[in-house]
Amino acid sequence: MSVKILEILEQIKSLNVNETSQLVKQIEATFNVDISTPKFLQIDKRDEDETQPQIQTEFDVLLVSVPAEKKIALLKVIRTVTGLGLKEAKDFVESLPQVVQTGMNQEAAEILKQQLEEAGAVVSLR
């Protein structure tokens, strides 16, 4: 970068917000430019969002809570699903909320959610 450009940048850095705003307006007027975001880009982005709704393809199964009387039944399911040992599964269930599995397709996530709910847990999909 040239010394001249560096000097100009230093001068711009010393301006307050009002002075900077006035400078931008003056540059736009002098050089006949518009530095705001082009409106056609915003319209294109909005149109793209409306025509292609986001479809979630991967789900995380989140174990939210477990009633105390259902912990043993849930431990069995957690051990089966995650492959954890007894102590790890117990620690897992006692430190809720916890993600049981991530990146599952919708069908598998629904099946796992149903298994956990049958064991008495409160589960949500994200």
**Does the reported pTM lie above 0.75?**
no
What is the helix (H) or strand (E) element at residue 108, kind and residue range? helix 106-118
Neighbours of 122 (CB within 10 A): 14
What are the tokens at 16?
Answer: 């307050």
Whether the predicted pLDDT of 113 surpasses 80: yes
For residue range 5-62, what is the model confidence (pLDDT) as tens digits? 888 888 988 988 888 888 888 988 888 887 776 555 555 555 555 566 677 888 888 8
* Confidence (pLDDT) at 42: 52
Q: How many CB atoms lie within 10 A of CB 43?
A: 10
Residues 50-106 pLDDT 10s: 566 677 888 888 888 888 898 888 888 889 888 888 998 888 888 888 888 888 888
The reported pLDDT for the residue numbered 103 is: 86
Q: What is the pLDDT of residue 17?
A: 84
